[in-house]
Amino acid sequence: MTVIGTPAAETGKARPHRSKTEKRMIRRGLLFSAPAVLLLLAIYIIPMITLVGFSVTDYRLGALSTNFIGFENFINAFKDPVFMRALKNTVIYALIVIPSGVFLALGIALLVYNRKRSRGFWEVAYFLPVTATLVAMATVWQFLLHPSLGPVNAVIKWFGFEPVAFLSNPALLIPTMALMGVWQVLGFNMILFLAGLTAISKDLHEAARLDGAKSPIDRFLTVTWPMLGPTTMFVVVTTSISAFKVFETVAVLTKGRFGSETLLFDLYLEGFEYSNTGYAAALTLIFLAIVLVLSIGQTLHLEKKVHY
């Protein structure tokens, strides 16, 4: 039997009454979070909405009018031979940089970790390329690989071979730039692996040795490699993103000549050189989708094999 006029507090449906202190704390919390929210809106959300809006139009930079064309820019992208070549070059570049940048960094970290007196020197030596600007380093590589003035070709000619055009031969361009990419990410990945190795308890290695893992290779496979799972996952994902973001080396060394375009360089050409803003916006969304799918896919795949 329902009693008419039963107070809301007795039915359990009363809204909690906030004190003045609680209201003041809520206002302060909103006030403190407002700058971060505004920055998030200004830097990420609003530009992303604008990007999506431009991608479905034929807008050109400086045009007074534009037309809605739907998904035509996305369709034309996969019909564009330059974009497809850029996509192919980026994939080849990533296939070289990702495994080389991860496993070489792991090997160097294992060697440096056991050093006592010279460990600090090797850490600094390998980490220096990370601190240098890519534009400056690309200029140095351009000199090193010069067909007539570079020391690399001088050594090749000293052995009696013909000089190699590393930066003008289409077959060697992407592998050459990939080696530069490996050199650039090596130091950062090595530091991450060193941190992961330091976190592994030495008792685990001793227990594995007592259980029959006599050789260092056995202890690496049974203890070190599984315990480096979280670090390896992070290194693989960050290296993959860096590989797909290659731009500076192409811009400095070749400027897209000899069929050396990559995704970001093609995007730059369309957006800033040719002023095809709408088409460049569509290429940007395709690039972001590729990186997002790759990162999520790698994380989901590797997380199943990670031991936390």
Domains of the chain by range and CATH?
Answer: 20-55 (no CATH), 77-155+163-303 (1.10.3720.10)
Q: Note the pTM of the prediction, 2 decimals.
A: 0.81
Task: Dig out the tokens for 40 from the structure.
Answer: 């998030």
Q: How many Cα atoms sit within 13 Å of 271 on the Cβ side?
A: 15
CA distance linking residue 188 with residue 235, whole number of Å: 9
pLDDT at 105: 92
pLDDT at 308: 55
Residue 105 CB: number of other CB atoms within 10 A? 24
CA nearest 210: which of 200, 198, 222, 199? 222
pLDDT at 1: 44
Q: How far is CA 301 from CA 96, 141, 258, 262, in A?
A: 20, 36, 36, 26
Determine the distance from the C-alpha atom of residue 301 to the mean position of all C-alpha atoms in its chain, rounded to a whole number: 17
pLDDT at 180: 86
Residue 47 CB: number of other CB atoms within 10 A? 11
User: Based on C-alpha coordinates, what's the Rg of the chain?
Assistant: 27
pLDDT at 104: 93
Query: Chunked in runs of 10, what are the mean pLDDT values of the chain (308 residues)?
Result: 49 62 82 88 88 87 80 89 91 92 90 81 81 77 82 85 81 87 88 86 74 73 81 90 86 80 88 87 91 85 67
Residues 245 and 264: beta-carbon distance below 8 Å: yes
